[in-house]
């Protein structure tokens, strides 16, 4: 089965609340590769590659976020895997 690529921008109170670590931990548990990072506009960007079902599990998790976060919206796009990540990481 071919890997899928998911790109997500998470909108809300998602910086300074442990959101990147929450995403990192969940993505690693699911065996996904890619990155999560804070963007200058206060949103969080996630790019992940792996099995579509596991990516959807990550998406469900980030729509909730950690307890201290408030997720107002997610902007999601899907593609075929065109990126080769070694692991899932937090970018700064």
72 part of the active site: no
The predicted model scores a pTM of 0.95
Q: Which of 38, 52, 67, 72 is catalytic?
A: 38
- pLDDT, tens digit, for every residue of 19-49? 999 999 999 999 999 999 999 999 999 999 9
pLDDT at 25: 98
pLDDT at 82: 74
pLDDT at 87: 97
- C-alpha 18/C-alpha 49 separation (Å) is 22
- pLDDT, tens digit, for every residue of 68-88? 999 999 999 999 877 889 999
- Phi-psi bin for 69: left (phi > 0), alpha (psi -120 to 50), beta? beta
Length reported for the chain: 92
The torsion defined by the Cα of 16, 20, 21 and 24, in degrees rounded to 10, comes to: 180
20 part of the active site: yes
DSSP 91: -
Which domains, from first to last, does the chain contain? 4-71 (3.30.70.100)
């Amino acid at each position: 089965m071919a890997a899928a690529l998911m790109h997500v921008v998470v909108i809300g109170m998602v910086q300074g609340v442990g959101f990147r670590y929450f995403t990192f931990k969940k993505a690693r548990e699911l065996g996904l590769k890619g990155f999560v990072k804070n963007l200058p506009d206060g949103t969080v960007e996630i790019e992940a590659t792996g099995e579509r079902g596991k990516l959807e599990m990550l998406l469900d998790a980030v729509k909730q976020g950690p307890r201290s976060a408030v997720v107002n919206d997610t902007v999601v796009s899907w593609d075929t895997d065109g990126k080769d990540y070694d692991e899932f990481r937090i970018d700064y």
